[in-house]
Structure 1
Amino acid sequence: MSSTTTAGVSKIANVIVLVEDVDRAIEFYTARLGLEKRSDVPFGGDYRWVEVAPAGADTVIALCPPGPDGQVGGRQTGISLQTDDIDAYHAQLKAGGVDVDAEVSRMGGPVPPLFWLRDPEANTLMVVEVR
């Protein structure tokens, strides 16, 4: 009798945000958004592999140099960050000079309160409140 192993995805390892200025991105994602830097390792000559994440989170955001097309910035990342108090976090980011929507959006129904923010390279992330 032979044993069969099924391979598959076990978790989302990371999501990637392409950035030109890694140091500026690290400062923004850690000092402004409050994420922690998990790794900062040189690779491939002049590149660095940098990961940031909320404390205790499994999935990290990798801040990476541009790929073969060389395009960075101005991208919709598809990343949604979660907070327990969206109004306080929105006010904190706004006071800290982060490019956030003017107001928290409240659509009602199953859509949680949310707002969008842009990093220094105009990559867009969403923040939602989940209680």
Structure 2
Amino acid sequence: MSTGNTTGVSKIAKVIVPVEDVDRAIEFYTDRLGFEKRTDLPIGGNYRWVEVAPAGADTVIAICPPGPDGKVGGKQTGISLQTADIDAYHAQLKASGVDVDAEVSRMGDPVPPLFWLRDPEGNALMVAEVR
């Protein structure tokens, strides 16, 4: 339903994952998941704002220092990644030492085959096969 408001949200620009160790997160997202690093800027003293994303993706994952509560790790990020070949990607990540579910979950239609992975700080992301 359109409200006629032209100042609304036009896209999801970034999702944020606060981390303690930015360099370890960069290595994980780029070397293990195959993302590209798009931004790496110093912010506020010794902190950095880093953005990573799959090649060609519009929405980026910003890996950055924790917010005011100071808590990092062990979060359900709500991030869902997609792949064309879930079994091959699962095997690739598992072989490279990524913390992935033991098996691909197959619940049947309309839910696509999927599995969960965790970054080095225990933040969970879901991977689903595109249909």
- TM bin, normalised by shorter chain, reads over 0.9
Max Rg structure: 1
What is aligned with 1:85?
85
1:12-69 Cα offsets, whole Å, 9 max, x none, are 1100011000000000000001111011011111111100000000000000110000
What is aligned with 2:111?
111
What is aligned with 1:42?
42
Shift in Å at residue 6 of structure 1? 3.3
Structure 2 unaligned spans of 5+:
none
RMSD of aligned Cα (Å): 1.2
Amino acid at match of 1:105: S
Amino acid at match of 1:39: T
Q: State the distance in 1 between where 2:7 and 2:88 align.
A: 43
SS of the residue 2:103 aligns to: coil
What is aligned with 2:10?
10
| Identical counterparts, % of pairs | 85
Structure 1 stretches of 4+ with a deviation exceeding 6 A read: none
Deviates more, 1:38-47 or 1:92-101: 38-47
Tell me the TM-score normalized by structure 2. 0.95
What is aligned with 1:68?
68
User: How many residues were matched structurally?
Assistant: 128
Tell me the TM-score normalized by structure 1. 0.95
Q: State the distance in 1 between where 2:6 and 2:116 align.
A: 39
SS of the residue 1:9 aligns to: coil
Deviates more, 1:42-51 or 1:82-91: 42-51
